[in-house]
């Protein structure tokens, strides 16, 4: 794999692995990211993995960029992406009704029944490529092509945290309440983000998510306990 190292300002070095989303490449990036964190390299402040890049934030007073590159080059030789150990989270979701007001639209747009949409959406084990956009917002890969749905022309406001939606080729759980142009087909009582919880963010890049359909009563029970 050819990796391009490009400076992004005086304190960040970006490693570009490819220009297309690819599960194998992302797993390699996440395995390298874990290694960078484990090794606690002097002068490295933090590292942010994304679909196809790894951005290393460093302090140039503590480490030279040439040294940093050399360390990263040596590290990548030791990476076995298959050993990436993410946790798998079962995420309970109520599909439809006021919890997922766009289920009817998504069903009719694809000529499917609501049940077929729920089955297609809850079947895969989704890989968390990266977390960003908002605190704790997971970018998931693995959505069935049958559910790809172009975004709304105008974003809706005040979509509640926990809403499970589809936007283009992606599916995700909104970690914070806010505007969104996605179609929301369900909601989970699980809090993906709670700053006063330890840890505040539930899911890390490299983890996996499996959606599990539940009833409204089960949602209420979970939300009450949570």
What are the residues binding other proteins (CB under 8 A)? 6-12, 14, 16, 19-21, 33, 45-53, 55, 57, 60-61, 65, 130-137, 139, 175-176, 195-196, 200-201, 204-205
Residue pair 136/203 in contact (Cβ under 8 Å)? The answer is: yes
Residue pair 120/198 in contact (Cβ under 8 Å)? The answer is: no
Nearer to other proteins, 100 or 165 (CB): 165
Least distance (Å) between residue 109 CB and other proteins: 24
**Residue 128: which of 137, 119, 120 has the closest Cα?**
137
Nearer to other proteins, 16 or 105 (CB): 16
Least distance (Å) between residue 186 CB and other proteins: 22
Least distance (Å) between residue 141 CB and other proteins: 12
Nearer to other proteins, 11 or 122 (CB): 11
Sign of CA dihedral 101, 164, 167, 112: negative
Least distance (Å) between residue 50 CB and other proteins: 4
Nearer to other proteins, 101 or 132 (CB): 132
Residue pair 214/94 in contact (Cβ under 8 Å)? The answer is: yes
Nearer to other proteins, 75 or 134 (CB): 134
d(CA 195, CA 197): 6
Angle at 42 between CA 40 and CA 43, to 5 degrees: 115
Least distance (Å) between residue 98 CB and other proteins: 25
The reply to whether omega before 157 is within 30° of 0 (cis) is no
């Amino acid at each position: 794999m050819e990796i391009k190292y490009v400076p992004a300002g005086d304190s960040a070095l970006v490693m570009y692995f490819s220009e297309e989303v690819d599960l194998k490449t992302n797993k390699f990036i996440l395995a390298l990211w874990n290694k960078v964190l484990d090794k606690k390299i002097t002068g490295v402040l933090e590292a942010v993995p994304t679909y196809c890049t790894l951005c290393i934030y460093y302090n140039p007073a503590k480490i030279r960029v040439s040294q940093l590159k050399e360390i990263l080059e040596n590290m990548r030789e030791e990476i076995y992406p298959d050993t990436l150990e993410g946790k798998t989270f079962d995420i309970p979701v109520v599909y439809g009704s006021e919890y997922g007001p766009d289920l009817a639209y998504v069903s009719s747009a694809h000529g499917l029944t609501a049940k077929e949409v729920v089955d297609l959406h809850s079947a895969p084990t989704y890989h968390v490529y990266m977390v960003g956009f908002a605190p704790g917002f997971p970018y998931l890969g693995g959505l069935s092509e049958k559910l790809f749905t172009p975004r709304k022309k105008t974003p809706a406001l005040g979509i509640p945290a926990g809403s499970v939606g589809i936007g283009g080729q992606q599916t995700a759980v909104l970690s914070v309440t806010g505007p969104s142009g996605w179609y929301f087909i369900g909601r989970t009582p699980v809090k993906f983000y709670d700053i006063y919880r330890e840890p505040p963010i539930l899911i890390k890049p490299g983890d996996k998510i499996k959606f599990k359909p539940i009833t409204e009563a089960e949602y209420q029970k979970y939300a009450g306990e949570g």
